[in-house]
Amino acid sequence: MRVRKLTLAAMALAAGLSLTACQNDDGGSDQGAAPPASSAASSSNGGSGSAGSDQQDGSDSAGKSPNGTGGTDGTGGSGGAGEDGKAAKCSTDELEITAIDATVGGDAEGTVAVDLKNGGGRDCSLAGYAGVDLKTNSGTVSAERTGDPAPRIVLGDGETVTFGITYPINDSGGSGVRITGLVVTPPDETKSVTLDWPGGSSLPVTDGSGTPVRVGPLGSAGQGG
């Protein structure tokens, strides 16, 4: 009987140990379920990483912002725009317009240089060609443009820009077409100024096939200027 009891006790003890082992295995599997929770936490961190990535994009944007703001690129651009944008168009009333004979001996054509001086007390801008008409005893002769590039020019107060007028010299020995005055209209203006003509007193009489009177863009002084 004692031997049997001991055997039964041993069997009970073995069964208890087996049950405990099973419970430990279940606990391990429960703990094994923890990694998904840890994954979820990692995903949450990943979410913050995504936000961090957004912030990185944002910081990239912020980093690009100085360049994009015209940034320094914009300053150059804005510098050019400032010159053009801040300086309004020069009006006829702001300009002191004068003309001088600029013909050089030996030139095949005569040249008159016209100065436009900014007397408006502020910066102003000009671009293109001035309108030029010669008043003659036979009517008005309008100058043709040379077609050369005509960049925009910003004139500070007191500064001057010059352009040239070229015309055929009357060496025919005849009286030709007598010039009585010079009419200058600044670019983009309708108001004109009439000046004394400082060049040769007359143009040769032609049938229209001769050398025309021509005007250069602002910044050109003509052949002799």
Residues of the chain with pLDDT under 70: 1-86, 207-208, 222-225
State residue 80's pLDDT score.
33
For residue 113, give the nearest of 100, 126, 128 by alpha carbon.
100
Residue-averaged pLDDT of the chain: 72
DSSP 159: -
For β-strands 131-136 and 109-118, DSSP reports them as unpaired
Angle, helices 34-68/71-86, rounded to nearest 10 degrees:
30
DSSP 83-100: HHHHSEEPPGGGEEEEEE
Q: Which pLDDT does position 212 carry in this prediction?
A: 94
Distance CA(56)–CA(36), nearest Å, equals: 28
Instruction: Read off the DSSP letter of residue 169.
Output: -
What's the token pair of residue 40? 């979820």
| Whole-angstrom distance, CA of residue 142 vs CA of residue 156 | 30
pTM for this entry: 0.61
CA–CA separation, 113 vs 219, rounded Å?
10
Give the angle subtended at the CA of 120 by the CAs of 117 and 123, to the nearest 5°.
Answer: 85
Quick check: helix, strand or coil at residue 30?
A: helix
pLDDT computed for residue 172 by the predictor: 83
Residue 180 has a pLDDT of 96
Helix, strand or coil, per DSSP, at residue 102: coil
**Beta strand extents in the chain (DSSP E only):** 88-89, 95-101, 109-118, 124-126, 131-136, 139-142, 144-145, 153-155, 160-168, 177-185, 193-195, 202-203, 214-215
